[in-house]
Amino acid sequence: MIIDAQNSILGRVCTIAAKKALSGEDILVVNCEKAVITGRKRDIVSKYRKRLELGQPTKGPFIARRPDMLVRRTIRGMLPWKRARGKAAFKRVKCFIGAPEGINAAEFQRIQKAFISGDSTLAFVTVKELCRLIGK
């Protein structure tokens, strides 16, 4: 299954991707940098920056500053990844910035429940912008 995350709410896309991976499907998430996180920009950025300050630098918690890795980590949070079933499902998940060359754009599936319309009044921040703001 190839999921297009463009203009889609990150949590909803990741939930569906995690369920499909647990059921045994191979999941490709494309356009990860264009997924959105709803909420006020400063609240979201401060939440992620606070997570970076917790713990020890060598032991985590680690937050990726690449959009595709951030999305993959979000999916991992929705899987029982410490068990064999969860590890196997997590290996079936692949995330990409943009769309790889070998994949046909006609095969992309948009998740209608997760789609954010262009005229929406919701406050949101894209994953690409979030990664740029939490980077050092």
Q: In a 3-state reduction of DSSP, which class is residue 7? A: coil
- Residue 113 to residue 16: CA distance in whole angstroms: 10
Instruction: Assign residue 54 the CATH number of its domain.
Output: 3.90.1180.10
Burial class from Cβ neighbours inside 10 Å (0-12, 13-18, 19+) for residue 114 reads buried
Higher pLDDT, 8 or 116: 8
- Residue 80 to residue 75: CA distance in whole angstroms: 10
**For 16-59, what is each residue's pLDDT tens digit?**
999 999 999 999 999 999 999 999 999 999 988 888 777 777 87
- Residue 22 to residue 16: CA distance in whole angstroms: 10
**Tally of structural domains, the chain:** 1
Instruction: Using the predicted structure, report yes or no on whether residue 11 has a pLDDT greater than 70.
Output: yes
Structural domain range at position 91: 2-134
**For 64-78, what is each residue's pLDDT tens digit?**
789 999 999 999 999
